[in-house]
């Protein structure tokens, strides 16, 4: 009877070894992906810059009369030669989109929305979208009232 169980036991052991190998491989694949993804943190939206080009008075609602709104963020884990796209929306309408190269793996960036004619930005809801390596981050929203 033990000879009949031997092939079954070998099959079970082989299946367990293959399953263990595949489990470790999947964990390894999933653990390397997040370290390759761009991380954006310390996001600030403001209408005011100080003399060292730092944003001050950050809020999500601004009084009418602002001539610019700036987005500042820190980033890390930028891939070599990586780029990001910044999209500025007024309501549902795209008003500006630009692509920027990230020259270092980590750092800080500031991008501003300014009307070319020098007039205040119109009242309404705005959003900012960021796209990195075909991955869209959640939008950042603000309002001018």
9 versus 84: the higher-pLDDT residue is 84
Contacts of 137 (CB under 8 A, 6+ apart): 40, 129, 130, 131
Look up the CATH number of the domain holding residue 121: 2.70.50.60
Residues 61, 106, single domain; the answer is yes
DSSP state, residue 91: T
Residues 72, 140, single domain; the answer is yes
Residue 34 has pLDDT above 50, yes or no: no
Contact 77, 39 (CB under 8 A): yes
Residues 12, 46, single domain; the answer is no
Residues 90, 134, single domain; the answer is yes
117 versus 31: the higher-pLDDT residue is 117
Q: Which residue range forms the structural domain that includes residue 11? A: 1-35
Q: Parallel, antiparallel, or unpaired: how do β-strands 61-62 and 140-144 relate?
A: parallel
Dist CA 71 CA 84 (whole Å) = 14
36 versus 110: the higher-pLDDT residue is 110
pLDDT in tens, 105-145: 999 999 999 988 889 999 999 999 999 877 888 899 999 99
Dist CA 57 CA 75 (whole Å) = 21
Number of domains in the chain: 2
Residues 1, 50, single domain; the answer is no
pLDDT range class, residue 31, cuts 50, 70, 90: very low
Residues 72, 122, single domain; the answer is yes
pLDDT in tens, 37-94: 788 888 889 988 776 666 666 678 899 998 999 999 999 998 877 889 999 999 999 9
pLDDT of residue 118: 86
């Amino acid at each position: 009877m033990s000879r009949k169980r031997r092939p079954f036991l070998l099959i079970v052991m082989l299946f367990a070894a293959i399953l263990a190998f595949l489990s470790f491989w999947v964990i390894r694949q999933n653990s390397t992906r997040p370290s390759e993804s761009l991380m954006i943190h310390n996001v600030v939206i403001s209408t005011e810059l100080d003399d060292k080009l730092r944003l001050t008075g950050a809020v999500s609602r601004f009084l009418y009369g602002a001539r610019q709104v700036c987005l500042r963020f820190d980033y890390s884990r930028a891939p070599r030669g990586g780029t990001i796209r910044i999209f500025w929306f007024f309501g549902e309408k795209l008003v500006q989109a630009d692509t920027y190269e990230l020259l270092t793996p980590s750092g800080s960036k500031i991008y501003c929305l300014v009307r070319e004619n020098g007039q205040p930005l119109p009242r309404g809801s705005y959003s900012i979208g960021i796209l990195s390596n075909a991955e869209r981050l959640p939008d950042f929203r603000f309002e001018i009232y």
